[in-house]
Structures are given as structure tokens and as C-alpha cells.
A and B are shown apart, each in its own frame.
Chain A
Amino acid sequence: MTTALIFAGGTGQRMNSRTKPKQFIEIHGKPIIIYTLEHFEYHEEVDDIIVVCLETWIDKLKSYLHRFAITKVYEIVPGGDTGHDSIYNGLLALKKKANPNDIILIHDGVRPLITEELISENIRTVKKYGNAITVEPSRESVIRSFDGNFVSSVPTLNQMYVAKAPQSFYFNDILQLYNKAQEDGFKSIDSAHLMSIYGKSMHMVKSTRNNIKITEPADYYLFRALCKVAENQQVFGIY
């Protein structure tokens, strides 16, 4: 089985949208989370979906799933205090039904421009190498600074990548890792970070284009602009 674990637990504090978490902001009448879910809904290799959702928004999400005919979501679980806790909650909920060798694609609800191709490539890579971390080569120089004031180092640009999503694993591997982190009282930024902390080998998958994460107002405008471009392409067949 292949399951998508979608994280929709963020509160959207950076978005200026006082009433709505960012994953529920609508573009042309459809919430961002639904754009994201549709890609997994329509992918034939994805069997089911579990969503980790802000607790106060679970009912709303249920009504959206109904309205937009998303049928693969079999469970919605409440998020935790951090992204790390939310993913852990999702994995624990999965325990009830998942087999150790099931493939889990962990994805952000606010990355609606994921593609069919990227989902396929993640699944293929997990089967071949045991895991898959979606990345994109960094287009601008990366700087490391230990004190936040002065540049400590500028690593070679062609060795630097930006981690995107999905980040995909065999269920047993990723659950064990989160269990271990739980024991150690450690919280990670994302699963790739957690893997790195525990010295696990990770295989990269090149992201398809425009796999943006909508966290700031500018991202919303970009998403809207890209939607428009994609729609125009249907007509003109360009780009």
C-alpha cells in the first residue's frame, strides 16, 4: 500500500490572514489544501490519504472533502504543537492499519503544485533506495552563520539543495525514527532533518518545477499567477 500523509496543521501566522490558516485560503473558490489533495486523489499508485489537520478546522476540512469529491482520505487526525509533533501524530494514527513495508509520502498541504510525475518518482525511488527526499538545486548562494550576524561560511553552490516535499519512506523506518526522537525528546524541522540527525542515508529526487510552499503573502500571489499560467497553457500550448 502507498499512503500520503498530508500535513495541514499550520496556523498561518505569517500570512496576515487573521481568520484562516494558510492551507484553507481559497484561490478561485477552492482552498489550497484541496488543490494539494487532488494530486494524490487522482494518482493511481496512491491508495489512501491521511491528513493531519488543525483541530479546530477538522469539521471544515471534512465538508470540503465532501464538496470537492476527495474520496481517498480515510482519516483526519489533529495536529500537535509543532510540525514534528503533527507528523508523529499522523504516523501513530497510521499504525492501526499500515504494514511495515507500506510506502508513506509525507507532503505539505501548502505545496499545491506537486505533480503526478513527482509522486511517481518518489514511489519509484523508495522502492529502489529505501527513501526519497525531494530537492531542488539552490539557485542562490547559501550562507551559514552561527551567530546570525556574520557570515561563517559560503558552501560551494553546486553542492547545495533546497529540501522540498514529498519526503517518502517505508512506514516502519520512519515510524521507528520518530519513536526514537520521541524517546530522546528531540524535535526536527522536517523528516530529512531527523534522518540526518540519526545519520541515516537519504536519496534525493529532483523536484518538478514550481513546487512552492505557501507560507507568506508573496507565495499566495505566486501560486495564483502560476495557476493562471498553467490554465493559459491549455489554450496556447506554450511554456
Chain B
Amino acid sequence: MTFALIFAGGKGYGIGVGSKPKQFLELYGKPIIIYTLEHFENHKDIDEIVVVCLESHISELRKLIDRYGITKVSLIVPGGSTGHDSIYNGLVSMKGKAGDKDIVLIHDGVRPLITKELITTNIEAVKKYGAAITAEPARESVVQSIDRVKIREVPNRNQMYIAKAPQSFYFGLILSAYERANKDKRKTIDSAQLCSLYDIPMYMVRSTKNNIKISVPEDYYMFRALHEAIENQQIFGI
């Protein structure tokens, strides 16, 4: 079995729109989370979807899933106080249904421009390597600063990548990594950082283009612009 674990637990502080978390912002009347879910819904290799959702918005999400004809969501669980806790909640809730050798693709609800191709390459990479992290070569120099004032290092750019999603694993592997972190009381930014802490080898899958994360207002405008460009391509074939 192959599962998608979608994180929709963020409160959306990055976007100044009052009460609405960013994953529920709408573009042309459809919420961003639905754009994201549709890619997994329509992918033949995905069997089930588990969504980790902001507790206060679970009933709204249920209605949306129903309205947009999303049928693969088998479980919606409440998020935790951090992204790390939310993913952990999601993984724990899957214990009854997922086996060690099942595959889980962990994806952000606010990355609606994921593609069918990227889902496929993630699944293939897990089968081959056990852990797959979607990444993109850094397009601008990356610099490191320990004190937030001075630059400590500018690593060679062609060794630097930006982590995207999905981040995909055998279920047993990633669950045990999060359980270990829980025991060690460590919280991580994402699963890639977690696996790196515990020296779990990860294969990098090259992201398809425009796999943006919508977290600040300009991202929303970018999504809208890209969405429009993608629709225009249908006509002009460019």
C-alpha cells in the first residue's frame, strides 16, 4: 500500500488574512488544500490519504472533501503544536493500517503544484533506496551564519539544494525515527532533518518545476500566476 500523509496543520501566520489558515485560502473558489489533494486522489499508485489538520478546521475540511469528490481520504487527525508533532500524530494514527513495508509520502498541504510525475518518482525512489527527499538545486548562493550578523561560510553552490516535498519513506523506517525523536525529545523542521540527525541515508529526487510552498502573501500571487500560465499552456501548447 502507498499512503499520502498531508500536513494541513499550519495556522497561517505568514499570510495576513485574518482568520483563514493558508491551506484554506481559495484560488478561483477552490481551496489550496483541495488542489493539493487532487494530485494524490488522481494518482493511480496512491491508495489512501491521511490528512493532519488544524483541529478547529476538521469539519470544514470534511465538507470540502465531500464537495470536491475526494474519495481517498481515510482519516483526518488533529495537528500538534509544531509541524514535527503534527507529522508524528499522523504517523501514529496510521499504525493500525500501515505496515512497515508500506510507503508513505509526506507532503505539505500548501504545495499544490506537485505533479503526477513527482509522486511517481518518489514512490520509485523509496522502493529502491528506502527514503526519498524531493529537492531542487539552489538557484542562488546559500550562506551560513551562526551569529545572524556575519557570514561564516559560502558553500560551493553546486553542492547545495533546497528541500521540497514530498519526503517519502517506508512506513516502518520513518515511524521509528519519529518515535526515537519523541523519546529523545527532539523536534525537527522536517523529516529530512530528522533522518539526517539519525544518519538515515536519503536519496534526493529532483523536484519538478514550480513546487512552491504557499506561506507568505507573494506565494499566493505566484501560485495564481503559475496556475494561469499552466492553464494557458493548454491552449498554446508552449
Contacts and interface: CB of A to CB of B under 8 A. Distances in A.
Contacts of B218: 209-210, 222, 225-226, 229
9 contacts: A140-B162, A145-B135, A148-B204, A157-B189, A161-B145, A163-B143, A195-B154, A196-B151, A229-B221
Given A153-B196, A154-B163, A141 B190 contact: yes
Given A139-B213, A146-B159, A202 B225 contact: no
A162 interface: yes
A221 interface: yes
A142 B204 contact: no
B142 interface: yes
Nearest to B139: A215
A201 B49 CA distance: 49
Contacts of B140: 162-164, 213
Interface in B137-158: 138-146, 148-155, 157
Nearest to A200: B151
A138 B138 CA distance: 11
A226 B195 CA distance: 37
A13 to B, nearest CB: 14
A229 B160 CA distance: 32
A142 B154 contact: no
A228 B16 CA distance: 18
Nearest to A238: B16
Contact of A157 (B193, B204, B216): B193
Interface in A133-190: 133, 135, 138-146, 148-155, 157, 159-164, 189-190
Contacts of B202: 150-151
Name A's interface SS.
Answer: mixed
Interface of A: 16, 133, 135, 138-146, 148-155, 157, 159-164, 189-190, 192-193, 195-197, 201-204, 209-210, 213, 215-218, 221-222, 224-226, 228-229, 239
A140 B165 CA distance: 10
Contacts of A224: 225
A221 B142 contact: no
Contacts of A150: 201-204
Contacts of B224: 225
Nearest to B197: A154
Given A151-B204, A210-B218, A163 B154 contact: yes
B192 interface: yes
Contacts of A209: 216, 218
Nearest to A159: B144
A218 B145 contact: no
Given A141-B162, A142-B161, A150-B202, 20 more contacts: A16-B238, A133-B143, A138-B142, A142-B162, A144-B155, A145-B159, A150-B203, A151-B195, A151-B204, A154-B163, A155-B144, A159-B145, A163-B143, A196-B143, A196-B151, A196-B154, A197-B154, A218-B222, A221-B225, A239-B217
